[in-house]
Amino acid sequence: MALAIFDLDKTLIGGDSDFLWGEFLSEIGAVDADTYQIKNQYFFDQYALGKLNINEYLEFCLEPLSLNSRTTLDEWHQRFMQAKIEQILLPKAQAIIDKHKAKGDTILVITATNSFVTGPIVKRYGIDNLLATNPEVKNGKFTGKVEGEPCFQKGKIAHLDRWLEQTGEDMTGAYFYSDSHNDLPMLELVDNPVVVHGDETLQKVAKERGWPSLDWH
């Protein structure tokens, strides 16, 4: 039995959930569509280039959570799942998850995208363990700030280390599946790094190091 860790966006799903959440908010009129979409695309491109300022991005994407009640946000998220997520779930990803479960492996998703957006998506795959950037909550309402360290790049390892201490799990024989060169610190940490839908930079690294490279589309 081992730990099987998965990135979410563009790995387990055929798109970026945070970007799509921004699109959804624009489409339903929850944000100013023109302004929000321009910023949403800018941060998406910065991430792809490996130049994302994670704190600036989180200030941007968490603001709509702070401006609406949890009841409203939960209702929106149900609509978001139907409108944006269901069609980009990947049967081959589910098959790999189920294969690991059958072996008795512990399944964990670790993602930079905030836990409000990602939690229901991870549950949809039948996964209970999620490490994500956590939006701060006070008096039952999102504040627009981050609780603790963002779960991004080396921050993913910090979140993972705390989780390992809490659960007693270990990294012996661990797998990590990811699409992004931003996840190189995590890929280098595990015994079994697996590239899925890898970006150009990560594909090059995978080829140099002999890492398996998969396509679940």
Give the contacts of 32 (CB within 8 A, at least 6 positions apart): none
What string of H, E and C letters represents the secondary structure of the chain? CCEEEECCECCCECCCHHHHHHHHHHHCCCCCHHHHHHHHHHHHHHHHHCCCCHHHHHHHHHHHHHCCCHHHHHHHHHHHHHHHHHHHECHHHHHHHHHHHHCCCEEEEEEEEEHHHHHHHHHHCCCCEEEEEEEEEECCEEEEEEECCCCCCHHHHHHHHHHHHHHCCCCCCCEEEECCHHHHHHHCCCCEEEEECCCHHHHHHHHHHCCCEECCC
Q: Which two structure tokens, joined as six digits, stand for 138?
A: 């006070």
Q: Which two structure tokens, joined as six digits, stand for 86?
A: 């269901």
Catalytic residue numbers, as ranges: 7, 9
